Structure 1
């Protein structure tokens, strides 16, 4: 990936330039998601929770499509959607999904907003890729996290303790790798998205959340962006170009 220089205009001009970075695949995914969510909203009772879910899913999908094309505007979109997803998961009693959203916002969204002018500088040179040792450490960390989080979730009477604990195990670890500019982050996000599909499938089946169907559709869209990011994003290309680098810290 070519090196990027810091943006010289103001924040509003930067937002306009960032919005234009979306590619055809990302546009198709986002607009398909918007259309589907709009159809669900207008064909069901419109409540305040339905509106919050709609806004969170639409803006959240925008966050993921801009993330997969490497545009740091996903920080602003992610922070906005995080408030909605926190509300939705609170009412569904998905306690660890709430924590996952908070971690993502603090580790990725807010820093991206603070470094909006310089985040893209020399992006390709910063990206690294896990090798075998790094993967072993990562997997071990996820397993340990899940065991602990699952036990706590049972005490807190989480609606889906095993699945929700796995959401945070993958999500928190992925956020750490993203901060460290590790391209394999998308592998963990893909795993987290699949687990989220399972989480909201059970929420829909068991009927304990009115947001279950739009959230299920949203997580399926997230999975599509993660698949694209895994194999075609600038993260993947930069990681492949730089080769495998061990994580010593």
Structure 2
């Protein structure tokens, strides 16, 4: 066997091992996470088959399932969330464009930059680095996060209302502002992100509920937001991002 053949086989083995390792990231989650995903799968499948099947509904269906799996993976501090988030973001960008919820598109781009790509780049070390280097807000961080969210809300709401035909600019903007701040918190490994994620899910539920009522989107996106809220609440009890979940896994408590 020549050197080039040996090198190709070595590269193939490393690639195969990588995908095997990624698949294993779906194992070892709290049972509540699996239950929530299968509930989401059944709910979203029912919505899909009860309505006219189009390119938009199929892409939305795929995005919601992978998006739910992504947030559950973040909840469980599993690095496969990077790839799941990247693919689901592409689906949600398509749905946001179709609905004219333009800031939801920028929201997904922000997720790609602050969450998905950093995890993919450091995928082998992300699990341990995250679990072992989590932080909580002090007074300064709370002030910066709240003020930053309000500033982004005001600026983005004004600009998207002035320069686009977004029919729901201010609802779109508050969802975007909260989600962007939460994404940055996750990148910086602050567990306080889940307060923002919960608020984000609520406002996304309102946004996509109104969008559905106005005939600009499928019900699947509103249901997806509701599933995200359940995941966020779940994270406070079973996720390694918080001490209750860390105790279950034998991890050290998070300190300021």
Match of 1:219 in 2: 225
Total equivalences in the alignment:
235
Q: Distance in 1 between matches of 2:49 and 2:221?
A: 16
Distance 2:254 2:40 in 1: 33
2-side partners of 1:89 and 1:37: how far apart? 18
- Which residue among 66, 72, 75 is the counterpart of 2:73? 66
1:123 partnered with 2:119: no
1:101 corresponds, among 104, 108, 114, to: 108
Q: 1:33 and 1:242 mapped to 2: Cα distance? A: 31
Could you tell me which residue of structure 1 aligns to residue 203 of structure 2? 195
Correspondence for 1:159 among 164, 167, 175: 167
Q: CA deviation at 1:242?
A: 2.6
Q: 1:80 to 1:133 in 2, by over 3 A?
A: same
Q: Which runs of 5+ in 1 are unaligned?
A: 1-8, 245-249
Deviates further, 151-160 or 228-237: 228-237
Q: Which has the larger Rg?
A: 2
Runs of 4+ in 1 over 6 A off after TM superposition: none
- TM-score relative to the length of structure 2: 0.87
Q: Deviations over 1:120-146 (max 9, x none)?
A: 234333111002221011101111111
Partner of 2:241: 235
- Distance in 2 (alpha carbons) for counterparts of 1:140 and 1:164: 18
Greater per-residue helix proportion: 2
Of 193-202 and 233-242, the range deviating more from structure 2: 233-242
Distance 1:41 1:206 in 2: 19
Q: 9-18 or 192-201: which moved more? A: 9-18
Cα distance per residue 1:12-59 (max 9 Å; x no partner): 221222111332100111001001111111111111111101100111
Instruction: Say whether 1:142 aligns with 2:154.
Output: no
CA distance in 1, matches of 2:183, 2:29: 22
1:21-60 maps to which residues of 2 (within 5 A)?
Answer: 21-60=28-67
- Contact preservation (8 Å) 1:92, 1:159: no
My pick for the range that moved more, 93-102 or 104-113, is 104-113
Higher relative contact order (CA 8 A, sep 6+): 1
What is the RMSD computed on CA atoms of the aligned residues?
1.8
C-alpha displacement of 1:119:
1.1
Distance 1:108 1:78 in 2: 8
Would the alpha carbon gap of residues 159 and 21 (structure 1) be closer, same or farther in structure 2, given more than 3 Å must change?
A: farther
Q: Which of the numbers 166, 170, 173 marks the counterpart of 2:178?
A: 170
